[in-house]
Structures are given as C-alpha cells and as structure tokens.
Amino acid sequence: MSALSLAPRALYEEVAELLRQRIFRRELEPGSWIDEVKLAQEYGISRTPLREALKVLAAEGLVTMKVRRGAYVTEVSERDLSDVYHLLALLESDAAAVVAERATDAQLKELQKLHQELEAAVKNRDKFFAVNERFHMRLLELADNRWRDQMVADLRKVMKLNRHNSLLKSGRIQESLAEHAALMDALARRDREAARERMQEHFRNGLEAAA
C-alpha cells in the first residue's frame, strides 16, 4: 500500500481515525498486536505521530498498552460488555427522559422520521446499524448535555469491539425495532419515566442478545 495523503489537521489525529476505522472493520482484530513499524511504513510517517495516535485510542479504550510488549487491540470480556451496557442504559435512558420532557414537536418529528427509516431498513442489516446509531446520537443531541454525549461516544466505541453485536442475533433487529416503537410512543406522550424505562429495557435486551 502506498503512503496515504493525510489531511492538514494534526497528523496523529488523522492516523488515530484511520486506525479506529480499521479496528471497527476488524482489519485489526481484538487481541491482535499492532505492528508499529509496519504501520508507520504503510502510512509513510515516523513512529512519533503513530504512537500519539495509539495514546488517543488507548484513552478511548480501543487499544491496550502493555509494558515492554507494545499496543494491542482491546479485547472485550463479558464483564466489560456488561459494564458498558449498564452505563449506556443509565446515560441514554436519562437522555430519553429529558427529550420526553423538553423536546419540541419538530424535534420529536425528526426522531419519528429516523424511526421510519429504521422500519424501512429491517432487511438491510448494515443500513439498520447506521440508522440505529443516528437515532441514538440524535436523541442525545436533543437532550443537550455535551459531557453525557462524550461519555456515550466513548462507550459506544468500546461496544463496537464486541464480536457478537446484539443486532446480529436472529430476530434481534425486529425486537429492536419494536423497542424503538415503544420508546417513540412514550416520547410522543411526553411520559419521561416511561421513556426512561423503555430505553433501559432496550439496553437490557441488547446486552442479552450480545452476550
């Protein structure tokens, strides 16, 4: 592979994004050693920005640095997955409660439109994944708490490391869609506690499917 033409932004940030996407695509498998020399040659860069990029990914939980052994793609244990889902359930259910109480009618219509896109994507798994993430991210944006957004973004990166994504389980897409419909109903009724519970239930079921 020839050296890549990297964007003007900080070199290590660009390298971090390239590696992040390779990890999510499983080109760099969980548990695998990251060959710094090979990657530096592949990207046509020195090892300094590469090491800075690895520090960024380590802070996000995607990479584990081992003393005298180098960097490895993080492996997600059952305990890790349970902890991540638990925190996501707390953070996103709180966001759902806020949206039920504070969102404008126009904003709820945005979420309804995304829900309709989900319904249309049930037979296209990759598209369903993408729209599902957009739905959750938009709901968080509407709840308007940048610290929660940052925590959720980092937790969702770790969740993507799981080999057994919950939506891969047979029938899980249909179940997830039904849970989204129940959430939308609670939001439409402006019932903050019902919205909170529907989102928590969504994550409980997701963890069960992913385990």
Domain ranges of the chain: 11-73, 78-210
Same fold flag, 11-73 and 78-210: no
Kindly state which CATH superfamily the domain 78-210 is placed in: GntR ligand-binding domain-like (1.20.120.530)
Whole-model pTM over 0.85: no
Residue 7 confidence (pLDDT): 46
pLDDT at position 163 is 62
pLDDT attached to residue 159: 86
Question: In the chain, what is the greatest distance between 2 CA atoms, to the nearest angstrom?
Answer: 57
From first to last of its 211 residues, what are the pLDDT tens digits of the chain? 445 555 446 899 999 999 999 998 889 999 999 999 999 999 999 999 999 999 999 998 899 999 889 999 999 888 999 999 999 999 999 999 999 999 999 999 999 999 999 999 998 888 998 999 999 999 999 999 999 999 999 999 888 888 656 666 778 899 999 999 999 999 999 999 999 999 999 999 999 888 7
Question: In this predicted structure, what is the pLDDT of residue 160?
Answer: 83
CB neighbours of residue 109 within 10 Å: 11
What topology is assigned to 11-73 in CATH?
Answer: Arc Repressor Mutant, subunit A (1.10.10)
Burial 82-100, CB ≥16 within 10 A → b, else e: eebbebbbbbbbbbbbbbb
